[in-house]
Amino acid sequence: MKDMERDMVCVMIDNRIGKRIKQCRERLGLTQEQFAEKTGFTANYISTLERGASFPRCEKLITLLNALEVSADAIFCDCLLYTSDAADEAR
| Per-residue model confidence as pLDDT tens for the chain (91 residues) | 566 555 555 556 678 889 999 999 999 999 999 999 999 999 999 999 999 888 899 999 999 999 999 999 888 877 655 444 444 554 4
Asked whether 70 and 35 are in contact (CB, 8 A), the reply is: no
**Secondary-structure breakdown of the chain: helix, strand, coil percentages, each rounded to the nearest 5:** 75, 0, 25
Instruction: Please list, in sequence order, all residues whose beta carbon lies within 8 angstroms of the beta carbon of residue 71, skipping any fewer than 6 positions away.
Output: 65
| DSSP secondary structure code for residue 53 in this structure | S
- Three-state DSSP at 18 gives helix
Query: According to the model, what pLDDT value does residue 82 have?
Result: 47
Query: According to the model, what pLDDT value does residue 70 have?
Result: 95
Query: According to the model, what pLDDT value does residue 86 have?
Result: 47
Query: According to the model, what pLDDT value does residue 87 have?
Result: 47
**Cα separation, 91 vs 89, whole angstroms:** 5
